[in-house]
Amino acid sequence: MALHIHEVWILLFVIPGLVTPAAINHEDYPADEGDQTSSNDNLIFDDYRGKGCVDDSGFVYKLGERFFPGHSNCPCVCTEDGPICDQPECPKIHPKCTKVEHNGCCPECKEVKNFCEYHGKNYKILEEFKPSPCEWCRCEPSNEVHCVVADCAVPECVNPVYEPEQCCPVCKNGPNCFAGTTIIPAGIEVKVDDCNICHCHNGDWWKPAQCSKRECQGKQAL
């Protein structure tokens, strides 16, 4: 009888060792929530489709709420189909605009060019100026410079001179013309040599003088 009791005790110690880990049902021993989370390498984000809208910074807006996305200054409305944004027909920017702001839904011109640039200088609108003695210019409202060049009359002399700050040449000694190589004043007869008396054409100062021969003093002396 003692022998049988001893064999029973040996079996009780051996049988637990025969139970392998595969025989344990894991469903009966659920793991902790922390262990389950750490074993999942893929992060799961919330899906806001049909529930809200997300801007570029990750901020969530409710359905029906108006907001401004990160890359647009036009307002949007959050809908179940996603954000619906205003796309107005913005006015054209003035071609002479020098300062444009983009703070609103449409760009706005804050400063329009109100001057003209001519030969490196700036002039106010409607300002008149003379860049050279022969030019008269004005800065137009279109920011363009319109100039008129003086048309000088034909001088009444054969030796005109240009004075500083004057466009057209002037005859400092009055009208004159050429008698040969000699310059004679207009309006009078001039004896250019012993035999010829000359005078200028009236109004045709560029033409050679008209001359007539008289008795030469040399013949009278004979």
pLDDT at 218: 56
For the chain, domain boundaries = 51-111, 115-149, 154-214
* Selection from 136, 183, 177 nearest residue 156 by Cα: 177
d(CA 124, CA 139): 7
What tens digit of pLDDT does each residue of 158-215 get?
A: 999 998 888 899 998 889 999 988 999 988 889 888 888 999 987 777 788 989 887 7
pLDDT tens-digit profile of 49-96? 667 888 777 888 888 888 877 655 788 889 888 888 877 788 888 777
Q: Which residues of 37-74 are buried (b: 16+ CB within 10 A; e: fewer)?
A: eeeeeeeeeeeeeeebbbbeeeeebeeeeebebeeeee
Name the helix (H) or strand (E) containing 123: strand 121-124
Q: Look at the alpha carbons of 7, 9, 10, 14 in this order and tell me if their dihedral is positive or negative.
A: positive
Distance CA 69, CA 163 (A): 69
Asked whether the whole model's pTM tops 0.85, one would answer no
pLDDT at 46 over 90: no
Chain centroid offset of residue 91 CA: 18
Helix extents (H) in 19-163: 33-38
Provide the CATH topology of domain 115-149: Complement Module; domain 1 (2.10.70)
Those residues whose C-beta lies under 8 Å from the C-beta of residue 70, and which sit 6 or more positions away, are: 55, 56, 57
Q: Which residues pair with 117 in a beta bridge?
A: 122
